[in-house]
Structure 1
Amino acid sequence: MQSSHAASAVSAVFDEPNLIAHAGLVPVMRLAERCGLPRLVTEKVRLSGAGNGAGAAADAKVTSLVGGMVAGADSIDDLDMLRHGAMPAVFQEVRAPSTLGTFLRSFTHGHALQLHAVHRGFLGALAAHTPLLPGAGEKAFIDVDSTHKRVYGRTKQGAEYGRFKGIRTLHPLLATICTPASRPVIATVRMRRGKAADSRGAPKFVSEALATAAEAGCTGVRIPRADSQFYNAGVTAACRRAGAHFSLTTGMNPSIKRAIAAIPDTAWQQITYPTAVPDPETGELISDAEVAEIPAYTAFASRKKSERVTARLIVRRVRDLAKPATVGEQGELFPVWRYHPFFTDNPAETLQAEREHRHHAVVEQVIADSKASALAHLPSGHFHANAAWLTLWAMAYNLLRAVGTLASAFHAKATTATLRAHLVQVPARLARSARRLTLHLPQRWPWQDAWMQLFDTVHRPSKPA
């Protein structure tokens, strides 16, 4: 690609009042309205006593924040992108960044919980209005994980030196929902101090995620999956109270090591991965492994009898290429293995249960997405403002996922960055005629059909309840 004119023959001026840089926000925010986001905020978020008008028109402020995040804002100042060109002609009550910052700083812990209730209701409405979670009536997976977000301001509340030496972080916890045929959406989130233990409050968090999944249409088999930090009696009890199964990585404690050592050699089944996968500890690519199962393993045996759980212990082992094979008594070479056990009551057969547990890694895609979008920064020095920002990002993320399912089969599984580039960040010129607005979009836009499919779907008259 080369410039078609000499530098002296090109000039630029910002003077066009009828242009919009993010025309995709028109159908996106229409979908948010159809799913009741402004109504939910009005019903559940009560900030009337916050002062400085922070509690007034909370619905306009929340939708402004969500719309800005959908368009790519990752700081409070970035929200000014909603106030350009012809945006006031297509959107009313867009709030200034200073107003939105004041609104966020007015949040307390109770207000953050009110915003969680909005997120939960909004996800249920999105699932009801769009094919967000296909197959949720048969099987759904709830993945729980935590992440650390580095922060730099020394006055940020809750920021502490935690897992990473010399790095101050906040420690968000999140749970996602997915089905075998869908990408994950976010069930619930929590902002926590940098030093908070991964498992702190995990049973209550898992219970909330399972309740949210049920509201989102997950009425079939539900299987929470998590890493070894969440392997405890409280999490398994929360799953069973909710009528769900569980699939939890255990780590290698002494009891697990004894159980694995007792597995006979004939019990191991060979599996081959369709594509090589990186080893979780060494990073080396591996293409095969072996799997075995202990059908009745009793976990948490040191606790009182009512808290002990008996279920399946499934173990995957791969060769440890970093260590040489050992020589046996008769001179044979024996490979050195590394073991990856998990504890589950998943009713599927062994290899399928192992494959489904390994798919828990999909939650890392959501975490990576968060740090490449609205969670690139935690913009406030106030802890509860950052907690609200985290929940608003979760709503914006789910809204974009729902938009993708309405646009095309490709966009239903595309990343957030792709959805934003193809469907949201589309320039348009606004024309007015006979009290109607027309968006004139770029000719030969590569994703025109998907964009029009989305636009037509959300602007059709809604069906009566």
Structure 2
Amino acid sequence: MQSLHTPSDLSVMFDDNHAVANAGLALAGLLSDKLGLEELCDERISIAPFPGRRAATLVHALVVGGTCIDDADVLRSGSTSAVLAHRVMAPSTLGTFLRGFNFGNVRQLDSVAEALMTRAWAFGAGPGEAPMTIDMDSTICEVHGKHKQGASYGYTNVLGFHPVLATRAETGEVLHLRFRKGSANTQRGAQRFVREVVGRVRRAGASGALTLRCDSGFFSKYVIQACRDHDVRYSITVRQTPVIARAINEITEDAWTPIDYTMNGEAWVAETLYQGQRLIIRRTKLHEPRPALFPDYRYHAFVSDREGDAIFLDADHRRHAVVELAIRDLKEGSGLEHCPSGDFNANAAWAVLASIAHNLVRWVGALGLGFTGPLVAKTIRRKFIALPGRLTSHSRTRQLHLPTRWPWAAQWSQCFARLVKLQT
């Protein structure tokens, strides 16, 4: 069968000033305008003239998949900038803007992120009175430049930075993020970070019960005390110290309860006490042949002050793994896989902007599309943001023309209508 057209017959010209790259930016731009992104930055960030339009340009560049400062130039192609409520700035201006940040400016930008979350939750994206689980973790942002300020080798022997972040388990939103140098210990600033996270979500409108889940890197009496001070339940993995090993060995065989596990796995759960708190242990059977001197089981223990039986708490603690999905999406979907500057505070600001872009995509999904669970930025971008468009004017009205037979046209239109109706 002969094709009616061949690619080699195409005549290509970059001459359409009305074309819009990533026309779905109209959704993200509309929501960021409703949330007051530009105005908040202008009010709170004391750096350079018009910090709002600079920050908004970077956020929207990250929303469409940008991973470096130069990627913001796509917003100036054709009529793309016309679907945004702010003036789009040049990459050179954005680089100067980021390099002008100091520690205080980063904290000011951090307060903007909190204010945006507060407003988005007031629109209906928040948990309200429902219980909320906070997953806390750290990650390595790998870099390859040896002269990046603050980049160093940590426990993974990878050159990079070591930020700590907290996410909302139900949606994958980034609740808080603190940028740290690469050699920072996992526990560095953990107690203060927990207190800041709880304060942020309470001020943002989360009035229900809070639960903190984290791995053994954050286990300390200070983190536990911070949870107790703020009436937050906790579920924290503990290290296999001699004291913990002795407590596990004292558990009798009949105290182990079998649980549903992986298809080819066998596992049991038991409970004991450790320093006056619940110590829940899961053991898994090792099936491969092992020498007699080595154990037949692998143990995973965590402390908790939550109510409920050990089987339920163990299953919920394992769901802490969803934080890795949020971190992966923050890196691959919102630009944190790359730290573009040689200046530490510039990269810290970039990380906060990436978290804002990450959350903005989720708020579009929650407020415009009605999504209630975790989502992947790549999916939202493919269906609702990365579609071509053409901007025209008729009777003093701007019209955005989108492709016919777009598979998600009805959802896109519904999303736009819902976002337009949001009232502050």
Per the shorter chain, which TM-score range?
A: over 0.9
Counterpart Cα distance in 1 of 2:257 and 2:156: 38
Counterpart residue type for residue 239 of structure 2:
G
Counterpart Cα distance in 1 of 2:3 and 2:178: 49
Deviation at 1:8, TM superposition (A): 4.2
Counterpart residue type for residue 62 of structure 1:
A
Which has the higher mean CA deviation after the structures are superposed, 285-294 or 264-273? 285-294
Q: Is the 8 A contact 2:129 2:207 kept in 1?
A: yes
Partner residue of 1:39?
A: 39
Gaps of 5+ in 2: none
Q: Is the 8 A contact 2:284 2:298 kept in 1?
A: yes
Gaps of 5+ in 1: 48-54, 277-284, 299-309, 328-333
Answering whether residue 424 of structure 2 is matched by residue 436 of structure 1, we say no
Deviation at 1:371, TM superposition (A): 2.5
For residue 101 of structure 1, give the secondary structure of its aligned residue in structure 2. helix
Structure 2 counterparts to residues 85-124 of structure 1, below 5 A = 85-91=78-84, 92-124=86-118
Partner residue of 1:160?
A: 152
Partner residue of 2:280?
A: 314
Q: Is the 8 A contact 1:31 1:458 kept in 2?
A: yes
Deviation at 1:7, TM superposition (A): 4.3
Counterpart residue type for residue 283 of structure 2:
R
Is the alpha carbon distance of 1:7 and 1:220 closer, same or farther for their aligned partners in structure 2, counting shifts above 3 Å?
closer
Partner residue of 1:348?
A: 308
Counterpart residue type for residue 456 of structure 1:
A
Counterpart Cα distance in 1 of 2:383 and 2:160: 33
Structure 2 counterparts to residues 131-170 of structure 1, below 5 A = 132-134=125-127, 136-165=128-157, 167-170=158-161
Q: Is the 8 A contact 1:168 1:194 kept in 2?
A: yes
Counterpart residue type for residue 17 of structure 2:
P
For residue 372 of structure 1, give the secondary structure of its aligned residue in structure 2. helix
Q: Deviations over 1:9-30 (max 9, x none)?
A: 2111000111101111112111
Q: Deviations over 1:62-82 (max 9, x none)?
A: 111111110111100001011
Answering whether residue 338 of structure 2 is matched by residue 377 of structure 1, we say yes
Deviation at 1:335, TM superposition (A): 8.0
For residue 214 of structure 1, give the secondary structure of its aligned residue in structure 2. helix
Counterpart Cα distance in 2 of 1:72 and 1:29: 15
Is the alpha carbon distance of 1:3 and 1:189 closer, same or farther for their aligned partners in structure 2, counting shifts above 3 Å?
farther
Counterpart Cα distance in 2 of 1:44 and 1:249: 38
Deviation at 1:349, TM superposition (A): 2.4
For residue 375 of structure 1, give the secondary structure of its aligned residue in structure 2. coil
Q: Is the 8 A contact 1:319 1:335 kept in 2?
A: no
Counterpart Cα distance in 2 of 1:354 and 1:287: 16
Counterpart residue type for residue 76 of structure 1:
I
Which has the higher mean CA deviation after the structures are superposed, 357-366 or 378-387? 357-366
Q: Is the 8 A contact 1:173 1:191 kept in 2?
A: yes
Counterpart Cα distance in 2 of 1:326 and 1:164: 31
For residue 376 of structure 1, give the secondary structure of its aligned residue in structure 2. coil
For residue 144 of structure 2, give the secondary structure of its aligned residue in structure 1. coil
Counterpart Cα distance in 2 of 1:110 and 1:2: 65
Number of residue pairs aligned between Structure 1 and Structure 2 = 422
For residue 222 of structure 2, give the secondary structure of its aligned residue in structure 1. helix
Counterpart Cα distance in 1 of 2:237 and 2:104: 33
Q: Is the 8 A contact 1:320 1:337 kept in 2?
A: yes
Partner residue of 2:250?
A: 262
Counterpart Cα distance in 2 of 1:322 and 1:120: 49
Counterpart Cα distance in 1 of 2:136 and 2:285: 28
For residue 246 of structure 1, give the secondary structure of its aligned residue in structure 2. strand
- What TM-score does the superposition give when structure 1 sets the normalisation length? 0.86
Q: Is the 8 A contact 1:45 1:114 kept in 2?
A: yes
Is the alpha carbon distance of 1:139 and 1:286 closer, same or farther for their aligned partners in structure 2, counting shifts above 3 Å?
farther
Deviation at 1:387, TM superposition (A): 0.2
Partner residue of 1:249?
A: 237
- Give 2:67's match in structure 1, choosing from 66, 71, 74: 74
Is the alpha carbon distance of 1:411 and 1:417 closer, same or farther for their aligned partners in structure 2, counting shifts above 3 Å?
farther
Is the alpha carbon distance of 1:125 and 1:340 closer, same or farther for their aligned partners in structure 2, counting shifts above 3 Å?
same
Q: Deviations over 1:372-392 (max 9, x none)?
A: 130121000000000000000
Counterpart residue type for residue 392 of structure 2:
A
Q: Give the alignment's Cα RMSD to 1 decimal.
A: 2.1
Q: Is the 8 A contact 2:29 2:83 kept in 1?
A: no
- Give 1:189's match in structure 2, choosing from 177, 184, 187: 177
Counterpart Cα distance in 2 of 1:411 and 1:365: 16
Is the alpha carbon distance of 1:318 and 1:442 closer, same or farther for their aligned partners in structure 2, counting shifts above 3 Å?
same
Partner residue of 2:58?
A: 65
Q: Deviations over 1:354-382 (max 9, x none)?
A: 11111111110112112213012100000
Is the alpha carbon distance of 1:270 and 1:86 closer, same or farther for their aligned partners in structure 2, counting shifts above 3 Å?
same
Q: Is the 8 A contact 1:108 1:384 kept in 2?
A: yes
The sequence identity of aligned pairs, in percent, is: 39
Structure 2 counterparts to residues 195-344 of structure 1, below 5 A = 195-273=183-261, 276=262, 286-294=264-272, 296-298=273-275, 310-324=276-290, 336-344=296-304
Is the alpha carbon distance of 1:43 and 1:440 closer, same or farther for their aligned partners in structure 2, counting shifts above 3 Å?
same
Is the alpha carbon distance of 1:31 and 1:7 closer, same or farther for their aligned partners in structure 2, counting shifts above 3 Å?
closer
